Amino acid sequence: MPRNRRYDVLFEPVRIGPKVAKNRFYQVPHASGMTNAAPHARAAFRGMKAEGGWGVVCTGACSVAPSSDDSPFPFATMWDETDVRSHALMTEAVHAHGALAGVELWHGGAAAVNRTSRVAPLSPSGVPWMATHVGFMSAQRPKVMDAHDIRDLIRWHADAAVMAERAGFDILYVYAGMGYLPYQFLLSDYNKRTDAYGGSVANRVRLVAELIDAVREATHGRCAVALRISMQELRARHSEVAESEGHEVVGLLRDAPDLFDVKMDYSAYDCSPSRFTAEGTHEPVISFMKQVTDRPVVGVGRFTSPDTMAGMVRRGVLDLIGGARPSIADPFLPAKIDEGREEDIRECIGCNICISSWHDGVWVRCTQNPTAGEEWRRRWHPEVVARDGKGQTLVVGGGPAGLEAALTLARRGHDVVLAEAASEFGGRLLYETALPGLRQWGRVADYRLGQLRKLPNVSLYTESRLDADAVRDFGAAEVVIATGARWMASLCGANELPTSPLDAPRVYTPDDLAAGVVPEGPVAVFDFDNYYLGSAVAEALAGALGGVLGGGGAQITYITTAGTAGAWAFMTNEQPGINAALAARGVAVRTLEIVTGFDGEMLSLAQIFSGAPARIAARSLVIVGQRAGGSALYDALAETVHDFGVHLTGDALAPGAIAHAVYQAHRTAREVGKDKELPRRDAPFAMRDIARAAE
């Protein structure tokens, strides 16, 4: 189909200093977990986005010196010739599809405590970057930078810029955001200096301006220079000479970079989950940019709607549409808009499982796009599946895993029959997307059902519960079982290992609530799953039953073994929103406790470390803890099957997040009827490789 003309503005070229982006789709720097240790995987991951039509494709944070060491979190480096060789693979992959390649030159300062290099961290005034989450905590405190350190920092950026140009990068970043070193000079909380780099806003901006100049001069103006800057704090601070310190900073730097890349200060707001924020929520903070500078501006906002994107440009908010999470969920988002196929966009659901990948120190994952991170290792393409299948395949179970398995098998050429016992497809999503804030997660099912309904080799059946005899009689050549997992009514001990199911009145699991049970209040929710569901259940119950009892007590009490509600949801940036939402609903939160007993009237608790007992009144208990996989249908078929293949996948194979279920189902569907291929192993370049190449 031809492109919708109202989106033509998105395909206009944009000049960025000496370079020209072919369109307004700009994949901003974001972590991928694929550092210089996996150069081929990184090149394929970024190159896929260029193939999908993104006009600019950037790396994530790329350290300019060993004094910027973020380990154990994954980060790239631009320190020597091995790094040049590694990054060149990426720029070649990006250039092959006509896109510009950008590199985010980065120094973490006090936020990078140099666990591996053991170099003393640097900071403007010795102020540490503090965090209460154990993954970021450190006993190491930074040193105060002297004049020599400042000169070194400028030189490191210049040297890295020279190497970056040799590696083929078109756009070179100075990164003054997210608590990193140039940002620390901008913000008075960190910068207490009394020399030319501290005090007034004009002085605090000085280092950033010098870094921009050094990067430009190092490459003699051949590369574009971008400034990535956080605006959340600066925009909120009073200025004597402008509307805010943000206005003043941008005004002082308005002609310095070739591009402004604008973001928030804190990850939970910069990459906020859809559970708590809508598309485009950065606009109130960054909308002033185009009033102060005529340089092009790029920003993000989990943009998935072409109308929202075009509106951002037409209203003068942004010149380039930044994408991180949407570019992971669908690398081909620009191409689909260009081809008039908006309905085929695999929209980001804002679950932030991709962000958890960085916190985990692994290659990027995505709930919507199971091929993310597997482009080189497993040779998976997000849009192309080899049509090598034949015969009929029966998929049992129409949740996220079953839908993904059916779609991938159909794209391989199998004649697919998808049978779901319930009256609707969606599985766990049918209940979970009705919980507060989780409606966007329904895109997982919506996208797959939309694609399946277009395919002539797919038959979809609801209200079709199958037993082993029915499956055998059906006569399919292959059978995929994706019947999901079930929640258990088990408590756990102080070691957080599940015990036996609790036998007491009015004890429920999320499965009971999904089936329509309405617990009698007051209700206690015991969460030792510690991801999103326990808190979402508590929030939903508070909304349904009311947050506070007549006597002032809480109608809903949330109890967790962890130190905070939704402890693992720190990994997905949901934790701040979770705790704020529970407080707003009047939910009482009890941490570091386990449930030791329940008689239908009183709940017995114990402090997880000391064992100190406590009791609270409750009429109902909802346990969100252990999930059990497995399938009686699979077991029955696997014991007697002779003339067809049977495969267990998704939560039925191993319960997990939706991302895990979709990935396992995609892999199963790729492997049905084929010999399993071992994934390729990537490896970094070494100096000996460079020496051999030079011989």
Domain co-membership, 478 together with 620: no
The low-confidence residues of the chain, meaning pLDDT below 50, are: none
User: What are the tens digits of pLDDT across the range 587-628?
Assistant: 999 999 999 999 999 999 999 999 999 999 999 999 999 999
Q: How far is it, in rounded angstroms, from Cα 585 to Cα 80?
A: 54
Whether residue 371 is contained in a domain is answered as no
Domain co-membership, 69 together with 200: yes
Whether residue 568 is contained in a domain is answered as yes
SS3 601: coil
Give the β-pairing of 620-624 and 507-508.
parallel
User: SS in 3 state form for 283-339?
Assistant: HHHHCCHHHHCCCCEEECCCCCCHHHHHHHHHCCCCCEEEECHHHHHCCCHHHHHHC
Domain co-membership, 621 together with 650: no
In the structure encoding, which two tokens stand for residue 211, read together?
A: 């870094």
Domain co-membership, 569 together with 518: yes
SS3 498: strand
In the structure encoding, which two tokens stand for residue 569, read together?
A: 């949801």
Domain co-membership, 505 together with 649: no
Peptide bond into 400 cis (omega under 30): no
Q: How far is it, in rounded angstroms, from Cα 419 to Cα 37?
A: 43
pLDDT at 547: 63
- The 10 Å Cβ neighbour count of residue 240 is 8
Whether residue 373 is contained in a domain is answered as no
pLDDT at 546: 76
Give yes or no for a contact between 156 and 175, defined as CB atoms under 8 angstroms apart. no
Domain co-membership, 619 together with 644: no
Q: How far is it, in rounded angstroms, from Cα 26 to Cα 334?
A: 10
Range of the domain at 613: 490-627
Give yes or no for a contact between 172 and 224, defined as CB atoms under 8 angstroms apart. yes
Residue where a domain terminates, one of 360, 384, 413: 360
Domain co-membership, 104 together with 34: yes
> Is 180 designated active site?
yes
- Which member of 26, 173, 175, 180 is catalytic? 180
Give residue for tokens 């059946």: 461
> What one-character DSSP code corresponds to residue 442?
G
Inter-residue long-range contacts of 547-554, CB under 8 Å, 24+ positions, other chains counted: 547/585, 547/586, 547/587, 548/586, 549/521, 549/522, 553/522, 553/588, 553/617, 554/522, 554/586, 554/587, 554/588
Domain co-membership, 415 together with 355: no
Q: How far is it, in rounded angstroms, from Cα 502 to Cα 491?
A: 7
Domain co-membership, 470 together with 539: no
First-to-last alpha carbon distance for the chain, in angstroms, is: 52
Whether residue 695 is contained in a domain is answered as no
CATH number of the domain bearing residue 200: 3.20.20.70
Domain co-membership, 86 together with 177: yes
Domain co-membership, 282 together with 407: no
Provide the number of structural domains found in the chain: 3
Per DSSP, what are the bridge partners of residue 458?
416
Which pTM does this prediction carry?
A: 0.95
Angle in degrees, 0-180, between the axes of helices 81-95 and 147-167, rounded to the nearest 10: 50
